[in-house]
Amino acid sequence: MRTFPSTVDVAIVGSGPCGAAYARILSETRPHLRLATFEAGPLLADPPGVHVKNIADPAARERAQRRSEGPGGPGRGRPGTFVLGGEELPAAAMSSNVGGMGAHWTAACPRPGGSERIGFLPDLDDLLDEAERLLAVSAHAFDDAPFAAEVRKRLAAAFDPGRSEERRVRPMPLAVRCAPDGSLTWSGADVVFGEATRRNERHTLFPEALVTRVLVADGRAAGVLVRDLRDGGEHEVRAARVVVAADALRTPQLLWASGVRPPALGRYLNDQPQVVFAVRLRDAGSLETDPRGRSRIVRQSGVSWVPFTDAEPFHGQVMQLDASPVPLAPDDVPAPGSIVGLGWFCAKDVRAADRVAFDDTARDGYGMPAMRIHYRLTSRDEAALEAARTAVRRAASALGDPLDEEPITLPPGSSLHYQGTVRMGRSDDGTSVCDPSSRVWGVDGLHVAGNGVIPTATACNPTLTSVALAVAGARHIARTLPAGA
């Protein structure tokens, strides 16, 4: 039987990149605090939170993905995820494992721009800098990919006119390191935890430990109730601060289960409507190919970014596909790296009516209140999707020859970027759940973290932003938590 502490200073729920950011900042700035991170899913590999793409053995990697797919239910999503089920957001998915979705992600880390930015955070750029440090983001991992410059030149001709310098076509910042021999190490929560957390003897990570309730007494968080999923034992852990970083669907679920039910909880749910297309690069045969012959994985054309602007409110990413998604003729073997995938994300028309609601009479696979999604694309969303299809066709014809007649519009939920459900606001006016330091209105000592905190309609991948918001929350705890609280 495992021993759980009876008291810690800070209890963190969820070990994805955002929970890990709290552990890291507090380990660096307040090394004497006692910290515990509780994670419902299993430990996949060492170091804790490692990205599964870094697991060399394919069978071990597949096993790690299967072990991340939750307690059973409606079915699998993308490898490493399981779907929630339901008709209104059919592709909504989660991951349950040490590292969360951050063990399975693509690691694209663009900065938000224009209306994606959170206007009431004056230090947003400083927080994004810090998030880039924690995630080890680089825009140079694929500098030597032979097709990359050509891809960007063609995209720039189509999209750059009229854009400000920092919103022009550029390499996608990625949370990945490239060794001199060309091998890649993808950042997962392990990189966010970093040595500072791993070396911190006062931090303990508990895998397979489901938090079923945040304990609240006299208007303040007093700790968490943890179920040890290995033996079913229940443990009460007292804490001076509680951070719930349990993804955008399960963070509001845990607050609901704990009786913390502000009016905006679960509302303003938004997922980024998404359009995809595949293209064969024009004249790829005449472009130089990778002399090192390691072209199987994204070495030829890298990952390029067409940033969001208010005038063109889409986030575009263009990356080499390992294989063509569309069957080609048997004698048609494309030059390595010459097929690129285009993904165009839209910003949702954010509405309070779009929400995850919870059922006190039905339970999910973990025994938590069952989720029901209410979600609809508005006429503005349909218009945005139509404009995105036009933009993606423009990008495709700049690059080469589309493999399909029309771009494909993915089912709602496919972006895996769910936001808004515990959104941040400037004041407690019923349209937000937490303040700019991610403190839940009306419950002292309770923080929320993850994409659910983002209040704006973003089209860009959200993790860099949500880790930045976690940095702000962690710094607030570091500043305000008395020693020996």
- Taking the complex as a whole, the smallest distance from the CB of residue 21 to ligand FAD amounts, in Å, to 8
Q: Does 105 bind ligand FAD (CB under 6 A)?
A: yes
16/316 with CB nearer ligand FAD: 16
104/299 with CB nearer ligand FAD: 104
- DSSP for 368-423 reads SEEEEEE----HHHHHHHHHHHHHHHHHHHHHEEESSSSPEEPPTTTT---B-TT-
16/313 with CB nearer ligand FAD: 16
Q: Does 81 bind ligand FAD (CB under 6 A)?
A: yes
Stretch in the footprint of ligand FAD (CB under 6 A) among 24-32, 91-99, 179-187, 343-351: 91-99
Among 97, 185, 200, 274, binds ligand FAD (CB under 6 A): 97
417: annotated active-site residue: yes
105/277 with CB nearer ligand FAD: 105
262/462 with CB nearer ligand FAD: 462
Q: Does 106 bind ligand FAD (CB under 6 A)?
A: yes
Q: What is the SS3 assignment for 347?
A: coil
- Taking the complex as a whole, the smallest distance from the CB of residue 424 to ligand FAD amounts, in Å, to 14
Q: Does 67 bind ligand FAD (CB under 6 A)?
A: no
Q: Does 414 bind ligand FAD (CB under 6 A)?
A: no
The tokens for 99 are 């590292």
- DSSP for 438-459 reads -BBTTSBTEEE-SGGG--S---
CA distance 464 to 282: 33
287/304 with CB nearer ligand FAD: 304
Contact assessment for residue 452 and residue 419, using Cβ atoms and an 8 Å cutoff = yes
197/400 with CB nearer ligand FAD: 197
How open is the CA angle 378-383-388, to the nearest 5 degrees?
A: 125
454: closest CA among 343, 317, 350, 346?
350
Residues 231-250: x/- map of binding to ligand FAD (CB under 6 A)?
--------------xxx--x
CA distance 408 to 276: 5
The tokens for 457 are 């309609």
CA distance 375 to 353: 7
Among 27, 54, 65, 96, binds ligand FAD (CB under 6 A): 96
- Taking the complex as a whole, the smallest distance from the CB of residue 292 to ligand FAD amounts, in Å, to 25
- Taking the complex as a whole, the smallest distance from the CB of residue 194 to ligand FAD amounts, in Å, to 15
Neighbouring residues of 128: CB distance < 8 A, sequence distance ≥ 6: 111, 464, 465, 468
Q: Does 211 bind ligand FAD (CB under 6 A)?
A: yes
Q: For residues 456-475, which are near ligand FAD according to CB under 6 A?
A: 461-463, 466
The tokens for 205 are 């990570």
Stretch in the footprint of ligand FAD (CB under 6 A) among 54-62, 106-114, 141-149, 160-168: 106-114
The alpha carbon dihedral of 191, 297, 91, 405 has a sign of positive
Q: Does 141 bind ligand FAD (CB under 6 A)?
A: no
Which residues share a beta bridge with 176?
186
Q: How many CB atoms lie within 10 A of CB 395?
A: 26
Q: Does 136 bind ligand FAD (CB under 6 A)?
A: no
Among 104, 154, 241, 423, binds ligand FAD (CB under 6 A): 104
Residues 165-204: x/- map of binding to ligand FAD (CB under 6 A)?
----------------------------------------
CA distance 379 to 327: 34
- Taking the complex as a whole, the smallest distance from the CB of residue 141 to ligand FAD amounts, in Å, to 13
Q: What is the SS3 assignment for 298?
A: coil
Q: For residues 3-32, which are near ligand FAD according to CB under 6 A?
A: 13-19
142: closest CA among 372, 281, 317?
317
Q: For residues 306-365, which are near ligand FAD according to CB under 6 A?
A: none
Reported as type and span, the H/E element at residue 3 is: none
Q: What is the SS3 assignment for 361?
A: strand
Q: Does 78 bind ligand FAD (CB under 6 A)?
A: yes
Residue tagged active-site, from 235, 417, 447, 476: 417
Q: Does 40 bind ligand FAD (CB under 6 A)?
A: yes
255: closest CA among 355, 354, 358?
358
CA distance 73 to 82: 8
Q: Does 223 bind ligand FAD (CB under 6 A)?
A: no
CA distance 478 to 273: 37
**Which residue numbers are catalytic?**
417
* Contact residues for ligand FAD, defined by CB under 6 A: 13-19, 38-41, 78, 80-81, 95-97, 100-102, 104-108, 210-211, 245-247, 250, 254, 416-417, 450-451, 461-463, 466
